[in-house]
Structure 1
Amino acid sequence: MIREELILKLLGYNNQKLKLDMDDLFFLNKAKINGLIFDFLDSDTLEVDQTLLDILRELSSFNYIRNVNLLKEAINIDFLLERHQVKRTWIKGIAELFNNPSNLKSRKQFDIDILVENPYQVRDLMMEYGFTYGAYDLHGNWVTANKDEISSLEKEDYELFPLTKNINLENLHTKVNPDTLTLQRVFKEGTHYFTDVCLDIHNELTFDLKPAWILKNGFFPTMDEIDEIWYLLNKSFYEQIEGHSLNLQSLIVIINKIRQTKLNHEEIKNRLDLTGFYNETAVNTMFHLANGTIDDSELNKIVQTFMHNFENYKNHSVPS
């Protein structure tokens, strides 16, 4: 029950005091919320067992190291693409880190995403730069495919097959369980540690939307606020609320963006109308969730769906 109460707290719906211990570590890591916990430690509404707190602090340091490396690599890539006059837009998590560097410790990143007009041109540039086809899975295993499989997958999707480049992490020493580090995207090979830069090159947004008006030149272009909100709003609705994603971090991020923006419900709705992807249920649900006007039964359904997805994942995996 405490995890349901924690979800409600992170969404802004629970002021009761909660206590977390080591049994909650896997849940925090899997839901990508271990960094967000620190926002509540000064409020006297969340108590964390000292052993768990020590591990969360160490993981936060690793997360900072990883995110700094991801951002450095993304900026280097951006300079390269600008030299080749590639119109582009950085999207999702890496854009959030660039625009809000205060999140370098707390935001958990799996990959970096870029939206471009000609993905194959960018792919070739990235492979010359040192990237290779493939990615590490959630257990730290390297996964790739042959040329025909990659070509077939890319024709059916809105993004290319992942490209990855490894970055060595020098002078890193830790007693944290390797499986826990793997969930943090820090891997061990022999006696040294490394992290991965996994690049997802998009030629469309999730909804088959052609991105021409979103693409830009200049230094590290990101989406305008109104486009970022409708895009993340829809993505989170279909993935976390209607789907099976365990990325609670993404849902919390967009809910907070809706709360903080000066844009209103009608402006977001009108922008979505222009794209042709307006879903009244998605927009209303997310705005009600952000504004505190969501029906109790609907809120409970969101929490229970997430917990069902987590238990289903846990029962089909073997975490240490």
Structure 2
Amino acid sequence: MLNKDFIRFLLIGEKISQKPFHLSQKDFIPLIKTKLFGFVSEFVNTQEVTFDDKLINLFEDSIMINKIRNINLINTSIDLDNTLETNNINRLWIKGISDLYNTPDYINLRKLSDVDILVEKNQCSFVREILLQNGFQHGAYSNQGEWVTAKEEEILEMEKKHYELFPLSKMVHIPNLDAFNFNKNLLTTFRIRSKDNIFFTDYCIDVHHGLTFDLDTSWMLGKGRFPRMERIDEIWYFINKVYHEIIIGESINLQLFLITLKIIRESGIEKRDIINRLYKTGYTNTTPIELIYSIAYKEITSEEIDTIVEKIESKI
């Protein structure tokens, strides 16, 4: 089951017992909520974890559905990027879509809810206009495939409090999906819906003019072919999201936690370089970097990691 011992194993690779972990069909929903299904499925046919057959079948369908949706999100993002380039927009694709572009191996595994892009604040209105001209609207689709338009007062209120535009969405058709005979509830879990026998997903984009309040990110923006975060910037940004949203906050996005640790280990970028890079933004709190690096390289104490995994377990 998805308990603190299994979470500890995923984060630092240590097991309390020599017995393999066992996951059953009832663990599927927690694995979806934490976005871990793809990464945990890689333990199938290993000695560390055993799985019920029904859960393996769910993994197989989920990975295929996720792959189909991610391909459509990437293709739509590339088309949109070409439009933004034509309109001379300084920009930076961030978070999941950037990670998918940088790491094609994640196309099956990484679950995306929406797509995020960073632009200059003085270009936000122009970017909104471009999106509206290209079929986007303020609103969202219900699980039944019905469009719900956002109210003007909702849009204004949200944009006063945040450093981003109110999300804009459009329908992206997914042809030939009926040939797979996927479970409809499973499709809905991955934001794929049907209306009038047409399958589609919602491409929802968050247009940011900052990553957080008072943080200087103008130097990161650019033009050209799909400008996206460099690995060194992904690391400090992901670290701060993990620390503030998962370790301190209420998020259970353990997918992001695992990806952050994996990027740190594989990049070879030293902690001091990350800290110096972060200073360019004007942000000087290095506590998140110190902590997440200690987890990545197993320098954290047993007491510290136990505190973290126990809090995560309590939220799931």
Query: Hey, what does 1:160 align to over in structure 2?
Result: 165
Structure 1 counterpart SS, 2:97? helix
Q: TM-score, normalised by structure 2?
A: 0.92
Q: What is the match of residue 214 of structure 1? A: 220
Matched, 1:123 2:150: no
| Residue 277 (structure 1) aligned to one of 272, 283, 295 | 283
Provide the residue aligned with 2:65 in structure 1: 62
| 1:260 aligned residue | 266
Contact 1:21/1:52 (<8 A) preserved: yes
Corresponding residue of 2:9: 9
In the alignment, does 2:40 pair up with 1:34? no
Measure the CA separation in 2 of the matches of 1:304 and 1:289.
15
Q: How does 1:96-115 map to 2 (within 5 A)?
A: 96-115=99-118
Give, in whole Å, the separation in 1 of the partners of 2:42 and 2:284. 33
**Which residue identity does 1:249 align to in structure 2?**
Q
- Decide whether the 8 Å contact of 1:288 with 1:294 is kept in 2: yes
Q: Report if aligned partners of 2:216, 2:282 keep a CA contact under 8 Å in 1.
A: no
For residues 97-116 of structure 1, the C-alpha deviation after alignment (integer angstroms, 9 at most, x for no partner) is 11111110110000110001
Q: Secondary structure at the match of 2:44?
A: helix
Separation of aligned partners in 1, 2:144 and 2:248: 26
Q: What SS does structure 2 have at the residue aligned with 1:275?
A: coil
Q: 2:2 & 2:98 partners in 1: Cα distance?
A: 32
Aligned residue in 1 for 2:27: 24
* Alpha-carbon distance between aligned partners in 2 of 1:22 and 1:140, rounded to the nearest angstrom: 27
Q: 1:238 to 1:136 in 2, by over 3 A?
A: farther
**Count of residue pairs the alignment pairs up:** 310
- Give the CA deviation at 1:266: 1.1
Give the structure 2 partner of residue 239 of structure 1. Answer: 245
Gap runs ≥5 in structure 1: 311-320
CA shift in 2, pair 1:207/1:287, >3 Å: farther
Deviations 1:181-202 (A, max 9, x none): 3222222335443211110100
Change (3 A) 1:240 1:217: same
Determine helix, strand or coil for the equivalent of 1:164: strand
SS at match of 1:24: helix
| 3-state SS in 1 of match to 2:177 | coil
- Is the 1:34–1:106 contact (alpha carbons within 8 Å) kept by the matching residues of 2? yes
Quote the offset at 1:277 in angstroms.
1.6
Q: Where does structure 2 lack aligned partners over 5 or more consecutive residues? A: none
% identity of equivalent residues = 38
Quote the offset at 1:177 in angstroms. 4.9
Paired position in structure 1 for 2:82 = 79
Amino acid of the structure 1 residue aligned with 2:208: H
Deviation at 1:42, TM superposition (A): 4.0
For the pair 1:249 / 2:255, whether they are aligned, the reply is: yes
Contact 2:145 2:195 in 1 (8 A): no
Displaced runs of 4 or more, over 6 A: 137-141
Q: Give the aligned partner of residue 318 of structure 1.
A: none
Mapped to 2, the partners of 1:202 and 1:6 lie a distance apart of 35
Residue 148 of structure 1, aligned match among 146, 153, 159: 153
TM-score, structure 1 length as denominator? 0.90
How far off is 1:223 after superposition? 1.4
The RMSD of aligned alpha carbons is 2.0
